[in-house]
Amino acid sequence: MNKKCKLKTTDRFTIAATHTISQGKGVVLWLHGITINKDEYQDFFKDGAEFLSAAGLDSLRIDFRGHGASSGSSLDFSVTGQMLDVEAALEYLAEYYKEKINLVVVGCSFGAPPALFAAEQYASAIKGIVLIAPVLSYQRTFLQPETDWAKSIFNPKTLSTLKRTNKLFVNPEFPISSRLVEEMKIIKPEIALRGLKREIVIIHGDADSMVPFQVSKDFAKDIPTIRFIPFSGMDHGFMDSDDESGKGQLSIENKLRIYKIIQEQFL
């Protein structure tokens, strides 16, 4: 059963969510990437919630502020705002289940940092952490970008426009604000990554064209708590690098493999 929810944050944003209710053997909180929504690209999260539901696991998928059906515009989106949205989600889950829940947080791309921060702040409530194609360094992903995609967005010309207009376009329909860019200069997800004294599962495709695979690889070599699972030939998210539709055989195999890794966190 899918239950539509409206969550309230402490700073008065309304967060749209979908609660997939199965047998309650555990719960996954899904945190999507920037410019997308709670279903994620090509229904990656929606399909994942359905897959896990068949195994008796519940899910909560939220739209971050300024995304999907949540209130606010893209200019309201920020790292601190993401954390307030996650806080509202965790409060909802605690109220719904009325007892300690078996919770795994899954963060994809720009949803990875709030997953790390939540695991740091709510350590007793969160059983497992799975990060997919994660942004682990704002510096290497955006501010001093290592991929051509990010270089096309963060460059002297666009940053000059940001200063004048308070808008930097991640895509033609999604401008972000100076506040988010300034937060990315100050906030360090890698500090949380190093500080967590527990296993962190990182899944990353070695053909990722948006978030540098090498960043995940470098951290995995340096931090013993990381369980690093590289996917050969996979682009950003789950899609095979030769598959733009996400419906090719290799892409489907990637999705199922990722869902099974998430399911394993409850064993």
Segment 251-260 mean pLDDT? 98
CA angle 12, 84, 66 (to 5 degrees): 65
What average pLDDT does the chain have?
96
For the chain, how many structural domains are there in total?
1
In this prediction, residue 101 carries a pLDDT of 84
Q: 130 in a domain, yes or no?
A: yes
In this prediction, residue 52 carries a pLDDT of 98
Q: 208 in a domain, yes or no?
A: yes
Residue 195, domain CATH: 3.40.50.1820
In this prediction, residue 251 carries a pLDDT of 97
Under 8 Å between Cβ of 224 and 194: no
Q: 184 in a domain, yes or no?
A: no
Q: 159 in a domain, yes or no?
A: no
Read off the tokens for 201: 């599962």
Neighbours of 122 (CB within 10 A): 15
In this prediction, residue 100 carries a pLDDT of 76
Q: 153 in a domain, yes or no?
A: no
Under 8 Å between Cβ of 137 and 164: no
Q: What pTM was computed for the model?
A: 0.97
The least confident of 27-31, 94-98, 115-119 is: 94-98
Q: 248 in a domain, yes or no?
A: yes
Is residue 99 over pLDDT 80?
Answer: no
In this prediction, residue 244 carries a pLDDT of 86
- Provide, rounded to the nearest whole percent, the portion of the chain with pLDDT above 70: 100
CA angle 258, 193, 199 (to 5 degrees): 50
Domain holding 94, by residue range, is 2-136+190-264
Is residue 176 over pLDDT 80?
Answer: yes
Task: Sort 221 into a burial class: Cβ within 10 Å, 0-12 / 13-18 / 19+.
Answer: exposed
Q: 94 in a domain, yes or no?
A: yes
Determine the number of helices (DSSP H) and then strands (DSSP E) in the chain.
10, 10
Task: Name residue, tokens 């419906």.
Answer: 247
Segment 28-36 mean pLDDT? 98
In this prediction, residue 115 carries a pLDDT of 98
For residue range 197-248, list pLDDT tens digits in order: 899 999 999 999 999 999 999 999 999 999 999 999 999 999 999 998 889 9
Under 8 Å between Cβ of 22 and 3: no
In this prediction, residue 191 carries a pLDDT of 96
In this prediction, residue 98 carries a pLDDT of 85
Q: What own/partner pairs with CB < 8 Å and gap ≥ 24 does 117-122 have?
A: 117/83, 117/86, 117/189, 117/192, 118/83, 118/86, 118/90, 119/192, 119/196, 119/198, 119/200, 120/192, 120/195, 120/196, 122/90
Segment 119-130 mean pLDDT? 93
3-class SS letters over 7-40: EECCCCCEEEEEEECCCCCCEEEEECCCCCCCCC
Write out the H or E segment, with its range, that includes residue 117: helix 112-121
Q: How many Cα neighbours within 13 Å face the side chain of 133?
A: 30
- Provide, rounded to the nearest whole percent, the portion of the chain with pLDDT above 90: 95
User: Could you give the C-alpha distances from 105 to 74, 102, 116, 117, in angstroms and in order?
Assistant: 23, 10, 9, 11
For residue range 40-55, list pLDDT tens digits in order: 999 999 999 999 999 9
Q: 210 in a domain, yes or no?
A: yes
